Amino acid sequence: MMVTVRVLNSYFGKKKEKDDRMGQQVGVIGAGSWGTALALLLHENGHKVTMWSALEEEIRMLEETHEHGQKLPGVKLPEDMIFTTALQAAVQGKDILVLAVPSPFTRSTAHRMKEYVKEGQIIVDVAKGIEEGTLYTLSQVIQEEIPQAQVAVLSGPSHAEEVGRGIPTTIVVGAGSRRTAEYLQTLFMNEVFRVYISPDMLGIELGAALKNVVALAAGIADGLGYGDNTKAALITRGIAEIARLGLVMGGRSETFYGLTGMGDLIVTCASMHSRNRRAGILIGKGYAMEEAMKEVNMVVEGVHSAKAAMALAKKYQVQLPIIEQVNAVLFEGKPAAHAVRDLMIRDKKLENPELSWE
């Protein structure tokens, strides 16, 4: 029996007054598991939520059952939530827009939204990825398609399955101005969803995208039957790779060792909620990449970010050995066990090149 934690609200006492955030009009663009969980969270915070999907059958299911039985089973949505396939209705007249489509569809969806977006509209991107052709972060993609918008990001260790059940979660909002970040912090935050703010949007997005690639590696190791030692090595050396690239690109080290870097990497490598880890497990067991993605039956963001990560490594002349081997397994047919062996027998290194003997 699935235990719900929403009773924590009563445990912590009566909710504090939210007059400054009550009644905001929110459009959630994308009705997958994460979009659905955030729509419920925002509704419970007192906002009026409209959810959009391009899939008529998905909207029909939500209207009839008020539950996403495929991606978030057991999480009931309120009767007064609006569901639509009309993008204009979901976008126009909203105080904020939450863009929750999978990363491969971010540009095409933003392009379709543009004509309905007002000047200064706040758009919060909650997907994680890097666009392969341009090597843009998703906020950069949205800003290019919708230049009149204020684009922010929301990220952190936050599986939709747990957020939908009200399990305590902490995340970070990144925005171009502190005022926008604090506004969004107030809109999203409640007794079971703690929100921090940061000006380092680039670092947040790089950590979010690249940890999915490392999580594939962690899953592959699980599929091969390796243990906790291997997982710990992949997490710690994985965050070293993410930070190495991110710092060269202009991100901040504090971000990579915080919630949206190390925090998100830990949960994605360790949890069976992670579609990237689940796909990696199947690949480690011998599935081809396409077979693993089909079996998971959800967008595996790490597959889409892996090639982009290597292109960034080449552009900025940074070594990413774990991510390089993931690419070899995914796209070159390299046996997973051989990839692990090649990682283990690399040239001898200092753990931290910045440290030296006197």
Our count of domains for the chain comes to 2
Which pLDDT value is given to residue 11?
35
Q: Hey, which bits of 13-168 come out as E strands? A: 25-29, 48-52, 82-84, 96-99, 122-125, 150-155
The answer to whether 211 is a known catalytic residue is: yes
Rounded to whole angstroms, what are the CA distances from 65 to 52, 70, 209, 315?
Answer: 16, 12, 33, 48
> pTM of the predicted model, to two decimals?
0.90
Which pLDDT value is given to residue 22?
60
Is residue 54 scored above 70 in pLDDT?
Answer: yes
Burial of 226 (0-12, 13-18, 19+ CB in 10 A): middle
More reliable by pLDDT, 75 or 300: 75
Is residue 8 scored above 50 in pLDDT?
Answer: no
Q: How far apart are CA 40 and CA 193, in angstroms?
A: 12
Which pLDDT value is given to residue 354?
86
Is residue 46 scored above 80 in pLDDT?
Answer: yes
Is residue 301 scored above 90 in pLDDT?
Answer: no
Which pLDDT value is given to residue 189?
97
Domain assignment present for residue 12? The answer is no
DSSP reduced 3-state for 28? strand
User: Within 13 Å, how many C-alpha atoms sit on residue 112's CB side?
Assistant: 17
Residues 143 and 169 in one domain: yes
Domain span including residue 181:
20-199
Residues 271 and 173 in one domain: no
Residues 239 and 173 in one domain: no
Specify whether the CB–CB gap between 192 and 168 falls below 8 A: yes
Of these residues, 211, 314, 315, 349, which one is catalytic?
211
Residues 39 and 68 in one domain: yes
Residues 194 and 251 in one domain: no
Is residue 2 scored above 80 in pLDDT?
Answer: no
Which secondary-structure segment (H or E) carries 329?
Answer: helix 321-332
* pLDDT tens profile 159-178: 999 999 999 999 999 999 99
Q: Which of 139, 167, 199 is the last residue of a domain?
A: 199
Q: Which residue has the tokens 């990237």?
A: 276
Q: What is the mean pLDDT of the chain?
A: 92
DSSP reduced 3-state for 340? helix
Residues 45 and 101 in one domain: yes
Is residue 3 scored above 70 in pLDDT?
Answer: no
* pLDDT tens profile 319-329: 999 999 999 99
Is residue 283 scored above 70 in pLDDT?
Answer: yes
Q: Which of 172, 199, 226 is the last residue of a domain?
A: 199
CATH number at residue 327: 1.10.1040.10
Which pLDDT value is given to residue 1?
39
Is residue 7 scored above 50 in pLDDT?
Answer: no
Domain assignment present for residue 11? The answer is no
DSSP letter at 46 equals T
Domain assignment present for residue 352? The answer is no
* pLDDT tens profile 121-147: 999 999 999 999 999 999 999 999 999
CATH number at residue 178: 3.40.50.720
